[in-house]
Amino acid sequence: MVLADIDDFTWKHGVQNADVVLACGDLVDPLILEAGRDCGSQAIFAVKGNHDLKTRFPDPIMDLHLQVREHAGIRFGGFNGSWRYKSQGHFLYDQDEAEALLSSFPPVDILVSHNSPRGIHDRDDDVHYGFDALNSYIARANPRFIIHGHQHVNRETETGATRVIGVFGFRIIDI
């Protein structure tokens, strides 16, 4: 199950069935924990969004930012935040900073990101456009999936062998 950009403070979507919860940012920790419990997940992986606090995730949520974690033979990795569209805030990166941070990130099967790759699921405003670095990562590492929030869309796009999945709210994905 993928969660992204939910304004609620509690999980209001009932019991779901999912082995893994992926949280793409702009979510409160109690909601992530409740969703994980209600879906019977074996693992919860998360990244922070541009509206999240600069605090550690509580257990059992595992932070994926620039980390690689494996579950059931699938390699997961992650990247926090969005591009620096304002002067202050947490998890905001210039395009060059994102490129430097991801330049040596190892290949994974699923990259969980708050932001999308540039030009994929962008919105026509000054806040919701993606990272060029994620396009570079796709070209270099060929992940099977990039799953993101931030753009407030539920949309899928293929670029090469990579499926880019934008989620707004929650969605069950069968992998």
pLDDT in tens, 130-172: 999 999 999 999 999 999 999 999 999 999 999 999 999 999 9
Q: How many domains does the chain have?
A: 1
* Mean pLDDT for the chain overall: 96
Query: What pTM does this model have?
Result: 0.96
Total residues found in the chain within this entry: 175
Amino acid at 44: I
Strand runs (DSSP E) across the chain, as ranges?
A: 2-4, 20-23, 43-46, 61-63, 68-71, 74-79, 82-83, 92-93, 110-113, 145-148, 155-159, 162-166, 169-171
Q: How confident is the model at residue 97 (pLDDT cuts 50, 70, 90)?
A: very high
What 3-state DSSP class applies to 131? Answer: strand
Domain containing residue 50: CATH number? 3.60.21.10
Domain that holds residue 161: 2-171
Question: Band of the pLDDT at 123, cuts 50, 70, 90?
Answer: confident
| Residue 87: burial class (beta carbons within 10 Å; 0-12, 13-18, 19+) | exposed
Helix, strand or coil, per DSSP, at residue 101: helix
Residue 117 is classified by DSSP as B
Residues whose CB falls within 8 Å of the CB of residue 117, separated by 6 or more in sequence, listed in order: 130, 131, 132, 134, 135, 137, 138, 146, 159, 164
* Tens digits of residue pLDDT in 26-69: 999 999 999 999 999 999 999 999 999 999 999 999 999 999 99
Which amino acid is located at 78 in the chain? Answer: G
Under the banding of pLDDT at 50, 70 and 90, the label for residue 127 is: confident
